[in-house]
Amino acid sequence: MTILDKYLSREIFRYFFMVLVLVVAIYLAVDFFEKIDNFMEAGLPFSRAIDFFLHSIPFVLSQIIPVGVLLSVLISFGMMNKHNELTALRSCGISIHSLLKPILAIGFLFSFLLFFLSEAIVPVTMTTANRIWLNEVRKEQAISTRENNIWMKTTNGIIHIRHYNAAEKALYKVTLNTFDDRFRLIRRLDAERGVFSNGQWVLFEILEQKLDDTGFSYTIDFQDSMPVQLDMNPDRLKHVAKKTSEMGIEELLNYIDTIEAEGYSATQYRVDFHAKIAFPFVCIILVLAGVGIACKNRLKDGLPASIAYGIGLAFLYWVLNSFCMSLGYGEMLPPMIAAWATNAVFLCFGVIMLMYAEQI
């Protein structure tokens, strides 16, 4: 490693950790003041709140590492440009390709770190954080297993949902059990499907069993559809159902196979599966784009301009990626294309910026 490579790497890592600490601190401060009232109302000790926020940090890191890498590259080059260091390098005949070597190495390093964080650490910590928030803070009486079985306790009954499709707001294989004061099963509804319409759930293909007046046998009735009042809504179910952020790639793939084997649509999970693979590469792509922008010799204003470029570029990536993912969820794009399209666009942008950058 040359002296120039060491210098660039040191500067980028220095600014990266500064950005990382600053953003994490701001996020935790905002999240703390937003949610601390909920912990106090739930009667939980302050240590439990700290435990929740600590378990949230890995997920926050996985989201801001790409932005931190981009900003650190732009800030480093912006400061070098402001102090005429790039001019000195150009006068020595050092090309842009020489500067790309340590930058790409750092991009690959952070891509590997991001993949490891998202695969090995985030699923574990997010599961714990969500459990604290749902079960201890919000007192949600619901349990979600790896197979997406959802159990919910109501005032006088138990609801079991075999599968919930958040994109369609649809329930599949629903069972409603109603008990009396002596915990006798007085009514059971089994429905093949349920949808949320006009503020209430409507069940379809229903088998209803009711305990008769004798208390020893049940009457059976079949119905095509029935509106029911359930103490839950799509937003609540979205929080209860196991999230892709709580699953590693292997577990998510097995989950997809299980869902499809049972005849349910797994489009949303397939999009998330490909996104888990595609997202870590954003570190490499954004550093290429950052170098291309920096070497255009525009960042004369140093730090303010660098931060503005970085935030703008990260915002555009987020908007385009969210748009493509939405198209994938809606089955308007194949899952792989929906997950990789933004990376492809920004890779082309980065290469073009490097091709037209001023030679250094």
**Residue ranges per structural domain of the chain:** 3-138+258-356, 149-240
Token pair 């204003």 in the structure block, residue: 301
The percent of residues above 70 in pLDDT, for the chain, comes to 89
Residue 167: both structure tokens together: 């994109």
CA dihedral sign, ordered 127, 128, 130, 134: positive
pTM listed for this prediction: 0.75
Q: Give the model's pLDDT for residue 360.
A: 47
- What is d(CA 21, CA 213) in angstroms, rounded to the nearest whole number? 67
Amino acid at 138: R
How far is residue 84 from each of residues 45, 208, 300, 341, 351, measured CA to CA in Å?
A: 54, 79, 9, 37, 25
For the purposes of burial, counting CB atoms within 10 Å of the CB of 19, is it exposed (0-12), middle (13-18) or buried (19 or more)?
buried
Q: pLDDT tens digit string along 200-224?
A: 889 999 998 988 877 778 888 898 8
Encode burial over 287-318: b for 16+ CB neighbours within 10 A, e otherwise.
Answer: bbbbbbbbbeeebeebeebbeebbeebbeebe
- What is d(CA 229, CA 38) in angstroms, rounded to the nearest whole number? 27
- Mean pLDDT, residues 327-352 taken together: 91
Q: pLDDT tens digit string along 139-188?
A: 765 555 544 677 777 778 888 888 887 777 788 888 988 888 888 888 89
- What is d(CA 308, CA 82) in angstroms, rounded to the nearest whole number? 15
How far is residue 270 from each of residues 191, 249, 273, measured CA to CA in Å?
A: 26, 11, 5
